[in-house]
Amino acid sequence: MKTKILALLCIFALGVTFNGNAQKLKKFGSSIEKKIGPKTIKVPYTDVITYAGYASPGNEDEVKDGKKFYYIYVWVPAVAPEIGVRMMSPVGKTKLKKAIVSEAYEANKGSKDYFDTYITLERSDITSKDNISEDAVKSANWTTLARNDDSGEMPKIPSGRKYNSLLRYKSQVGNPTKALTVGLYRIGFTTFKKGEVKGTFLAEVAAPVKLPGVVMAKTIAELKKGL
Ligand SMILES: [Ca+2]
């Protein structure tokens, strides 16, 4: 009996340790704050799109400034007041209830690999969905609106460091180059360090209002299917 209790205690202790390191995303709070009693909370975004992927050497979309970039494309069909982007690696214990799960993630979901994430939010000069094509995307002008390396709001990576990324970008109404107008956007994700990127990741794009017709995809071909 004593051994049994001891074994149970051991399992319990192990469970606690695992949970302590488990990566799990909480609700994605917007920049809008609300007082609830003595606490100030960030009101969660109402529209969140989640993408689960797996980055591996050789499947990057572009090498820019020595960094291997992977892109997720987002078609924004209406003027948005704010866009939130966050990314974590590895996927860890986060539930993928409504996520878009890529084939690469499905094939590698058991992987323990992860990397130090780095995100960018870019807008193209493509403002009509009829003009979206592989060639147009390649030759488009891309403007970086925001970037983030490490965010203290994100779960720590398995080594205990706060290396995951989060950004919130508010539309600057009246400033055509900084407003979140209708158009094709992309999230660039890479590592802080230059070199190979390998591991599972979750990327989320979010808005504080329901934006009907938002399409998010890893490739232009997939994006066009959803338009
Ligand atoms: Ca980072």
- CB distance 91 to 52 below 8 Å: yes
Q: What is the pLDDT of residue 66?
A: 83
pTM for this entry: 0.83
Using the mean position of ligand 1's atoms as its centre, give its distance from the Cα of residue 5 in Å. 42
Instruction: Provide the pairing of β-strand 165-170 with 183-191.
Output: unpaired
Using the mean position of ligand 1's atoms as its centre, give its distance from the Cα of residue 100 in Å. 23
Tell me the β-bridge partners of 199. 55
Using the mean position of ligand 1's atoms as its centre, give its distance from the Cα of residue 192 in Å. 6
Residue 169 corresponds to which tokens in the numbers above? 């970008």
Residue 60 corresponds to which tokens in the numbers above? 């990057």
Q: Which domains does the chain have, with CATH numbers?
A: 45-226 (2.60.120.510)
Residue 155's nearest CA partner among 210, 112, 195, 202 is: 202
Using the mean position of ligand 1's atoms as its centre, give its distance from the Cα of residue 115 in Å. 8
Burial class (CB in 10 A: 0-12, 13-18, 19+), 88: buried
Q: What is the pLDDT of residue 14?
A: 45
Using the mean position of ligand 1's atoms as its centre, give its distance from the Cα of residue 130 in Å. 35
* Regions of the chain where pLDDT drops below 50: 11-20
Using the mean position of ligand 1's atoms as its centre, give its distance from the Cα of residue 227 in Å. 32
Q: What is the pLDDT of residue 98?
A: 85
- The DSSP secondary-structure symbol of 153 reads T
- In tens, the pLDDT along 58-106 reads 878 888 888 888 898 999 998 889 999 999 999 988 888 889 898 889 9
